[in-house]
Homo-oligomer: A and B are copies of this chain.
Amino acid sequence: MDEQTASLIESHIAMQNVTVIGAGVIGISWIALFLARGLRVVVYDNAPNIEQRVISSIQAILPNIETVELPVSSLLKRLSFETDLARAVMSADVIQENGPDKINFKRKLWIEIERYAPQHALFLSSSSGIPTRIQASGMQRPGRLLIGHPFNPPHLIPLVEVVPHKRALPETTQRALSFYRMIGKQPILLRKEVPGFVANRLQAALMREALLLVKWDVVTVDELDEIVTRSLGLRWATGGPFVSFHMGGGPKGFTGFIDHFSWGMQLLWLQSKFSPVFFSTELKEKLLNQISASFGKKSLTELEADRDRCIIALQRTLDKVK
- A217 and B24 alpha carbons, distance in the complex (Å): 33
- When distances are taken between beta carbons in the complex, the residues of chain B under 8 Å from A94 are none
20 pairs from A and B in contact (CB 8 Å cutoff)? A151-B231, A157-B230, A157-B231, A157-B234, A159-B231, A188-B223, A195-B267, A196-B264, A199-B231, A202-B209, A221-B242, A225-B239, A225-B242, A225-B243, A227-B240, A246-B296, A255-B288, A262-B279, A314-B314, A316-B317
Minimum Cβ distance to chain B for residue A194 (Å) = 5
- Cβ contacts A258-294/B at 8 Å (1 or 0 each): 1000101111110111000111000010011001000
Residue A137 at the chain B interface, CB threshold 8 Å: no
- When distances are taken between beta carbons in the complex, the residues of chain B under 8 Å from A230 are 151, 157-159, 186, 188
Minimum Cβ distance to chain B for residue A283 (Å) = 10
- Which B residue sits closest to A193, measured CB to CB? B218
Interface size class of A (residues with CB under 8 A): 35 or more
Residue A235 at the chain B interface, CB threshold 8 Å: yes
- A157 and B237 alpha carbons, distance in the complex (Å): 12
- A231 and B159 alpha carbons, distance in the complex (Å): 6
Partner of A268, one of B204, B269, B304, B318: B204
- When distances are taken between beta carbons in the complex, the residues of chain B under 8 Å from A284 are 258
Report whether B205 and A191 are in contact in the complex, using a CB–CB cutoff of 8 Å: no
Residue A321 at the chain B interface, CB threshold 8 Å: yes
- Which B residue sits closest to A239, measured CB to CB? B307
Query: Which residues 175-216 of A have a CB within 8 angstroms of B?
Result: 186, 188, 190-192, 194-196, 198-210, 213, 216
Given contacts A202-B228, A237-B237, A254-B287, 18 further A-B contacts (CB under 8 A): A24-B250, A191-B218, A194-B216, A198-B227, A201-B213, A202-B232, A205-B209, A206-B206, A207-B245, A208-B265, A210-B242, A233-B240, A234-B314, A235-B311, A239-B306, A243-B303, A247-B304, A314-B314
- Which B residue sits closest to A234, measured CB to CB? B237
Report whether B238 and A224 are in contact in the complex, using a CB–CB cutoff of 8 Å: no
- When distances are taken between beta carbons in the complex, the residues of chain B under 8 Å from A151 are 230-232, 235
Chain A residues in the interface with B (C-beta under 8 A): 24-25, 128-129, 151-152, 157-159, 161, 186, 188, 190-192, 194-196, 198-210, 213, 216-219, 221-248, 250-251, 253-255, 258, 262, 264-269, 271-273, 277-279, 284, 287-288, 291, 295-296, 300, 303-304, 306-307, 309-311, 313-318, 320-322
Count of chain copies: 2
Minimum Cβ distance to chain B for residue A285 (Å) = 11
- Sort A-B residue pairs by CB-CB distance and give the 7 closest, nearest first: A225-B240, A233-B236, A238-B310, A205-B209, A233-B237, A159-B231, A159-B230
Partner of A216, one of B192, B208, B221, B243: B192
Q: Per DSSP, are chain A's interface residues mostly helix, strand or loop, or mixed?
A: helix
